[in-house]
Chain A
Amino acid sequence: MEVDIKRLERLALLKLSDEEEKALSKDVEKIIGFFKQLDGIVLEGVEPLFHVMEKEAGVREDSVEKGIEKLWIERSAAKTIDGYVVGPRTITGEES
């Protein structure tokens, strides 16, 4: 099968060097070949099990609790303005 490695890079938000691309393409093909073993088992009528705990997640009490200090955020963020974290532009006109 043909894996479109550039597409996977985009999906995983990675930018690989040519060398990395070559090595990873080979690995990815090999590993997908291994996943194809799953074709050998009959699964008719079996429901997928997303999580072993099939219980409803409860909701916590809606009460005020000590959260992360604003100071920590200001200290660890790459850049802040007036206490707000600066992020990269989401709209640049480029096709994504």
Chain B
Amino acid sequence: MSLVNKQLRYVVEAVRDNREALSEYIYRLYERIERYEEKLKGFITLRPADTVIREALEANRLGKPLAGIPIAVKDNISTEGIRTTCASAILENYIPPYDATVVKRLREAGAVIIGKTNMDEFAMGSTTETSYFGPSRNPWDPSRVPGGSSGGSGVVVSAYMAPAALGSDTGGSVRNPAAYTGIFGYKPTYGGLSRYGLIAYASSLDQIGLMTRDSVDAALLLEYIAGEDPRDPTSLDLRVGGLFKEISSLGEGRDLPKARLVIVKEMWSGVEDHVFKTTMNAVDKLSSEGFEVEEVSVPEVSYALPAYYVIAFAEASSNLSRYGIPLYGLSKDPENTSWIDYYSEIRSKGFGKEVKRRIMLGSFILSAGYYEQYYIKALKVRRLLRDRLLPLLRRGYIASPTMPIQPPRLGEAIEDPLRLYAMDIETVIPNLIGSPAISLVAGFANSLPVGLQLIGPPLGDRDLLLIARTIEIIIGLSNLSPQMG
């Protein structure tokens, strides 16, 4: 069997002392890309195969731990010398002068960037349809979206075009596409991975995350990229040293760790019927394998979605005010133009519809007279939610469907903003309270993968990943292969 279908950790082992196997592996990835990329559009920028192979062989020769393995990176994470567009016309030709900390650490560990993946413009969307470069498609059914906003990262991992990818998650943007493309998605505790070099959307919610074929691969990469960063004062130490070894040994004769699953009733209402059944079947199976299951009601959860969107839009309108400056991105000769005209023209030309919608709403929320009514109120809901949920997370892991519906067909959800936002109803909760969360495959409905979301307590990443691995072993649905024509 070709290495292409293997999880990243096995590829690293196989190519470590075998540079021929490494080149062969990368060629095979490019063969897949050549065959499927035109249809699926996972990448915005794909680096030439010979450059990637050259860098990979060099990393391998130097004996670096990741041995030259190629990794895909979402296009809002800065890569020195490689175009980083945020899927926006306003940054279409922007080439960052530095690497994001996570990218720098990956490179230092011997990984090579294969390309930059497609996404919703500035990570604003849940389907990858707001990309200036056109939508990505779901490898399981190309008439459907792969989710978003890290849709391209989901596509390339799911379709074996890269063994792993970085994504970013502000309100579900890693877990949503992981669920829809049938892979593993992990959003660390807020601050768990440095945000230095991540192009900001909503800074108090933004978090870089990992998209891999299973939880063990995520743990492997995490060990190399986690850790405090002096360039991001919100960065934290996740204390994940030795995790890869520990997680790899699960299921090898020892008893699997068990945990309590907390079912928050409000997170299961309004969920599409077959998504509900598939996810609940997984919970039942875990219960029969020794997991405890507790049902609770947290009415405040119903307010999470509007609170999230108020906060995200407010922060976005502030973060995106930097675009238009005559220093990078779309610009023009600033002479003989007034300040307002100059910025308004560039920004109107460079931003797409959803971005305009969000920054206008953010400006509204933060404007005099509405600040208290919307912004402050949303922040109070955030505290209330945290106060209600943290005690539950000390008892167990909150389990829910990752997505309330199955992946819409292209064009189906995008025209109605409220319908689009409602897709995030489950996934915004961990971002609001700073918790880590994962999505893994719970089962199938209508021949499409269905995701189970698990939320842990802040800084509980290590145990969350160990439990995720236990669940993967019990359910037995990881490293899946979509049937592609």
Report which A residues bind B (CB closer than 8 A). Answer: 3, 5, 7-16, 20, 23-24, 27-28, 30-32, 34-35, 37-41, 43, 46-53, 57-58, 60-61, 68-69, 72-73, 76-79, 85-90, 92, 94, 96
Contact = CB atoms under 8 A, between A and B. Distances in A.
Given A31-B417, A43-B380, A87-B326, A52 B300 contact: no
Contacts, number: 176
Contact of A12 (B335, B363, B377, B380): B363
A10 B326 CA distance: 19
Interface in B274-320: 300, 303, 306-307, 309-310, 317
How would you classify the secondary structure of chain A's contact residues: helix, strand, loop or mixed? loop
A41 B381 contact: yes
Contact of B356 (A14, A37, A89): A14
A35 B306 contact: yes
Contact of B386 (A14, A52, A57): A52
Contacts of A13: 321, 324, 340, 343-344, 347
A31 B377 contact: no
Contacts of A10: 340
A49 B380 contact: yes
B334 A14 contact: no
How would you classify the secondary structure of chain B's contact residues: helix, strand, loop or mixed? helix
Interface of B: 94-95, 97-98, 190-191, 204, 230-231, 233-234, 300, 303, 306-307, 309-310, 317, 321, 324-328, 331-335, 337-345, 347-348, 351, 353, 356-357, 359-365, 367, 374, 376-384, 386, 417-418, 421, 432-434, 458
B97 A72 contact: yes
A88 B357 contact: no
B334 A38 contact: no
Nearest to B344: A15
A50 B379 contact: yes
13 contacts: A11-B360, A12-B356, A16-B348, A24-B356, A27-B417, A31-B417, A38-B378, A40-B303, A49-B386, A52-B434, A57-B234, A88-B343, A92-B339
A85 B327 contact: yes
Given A3-B364, A52-B386, A87-B325, A14 B417 contact: no
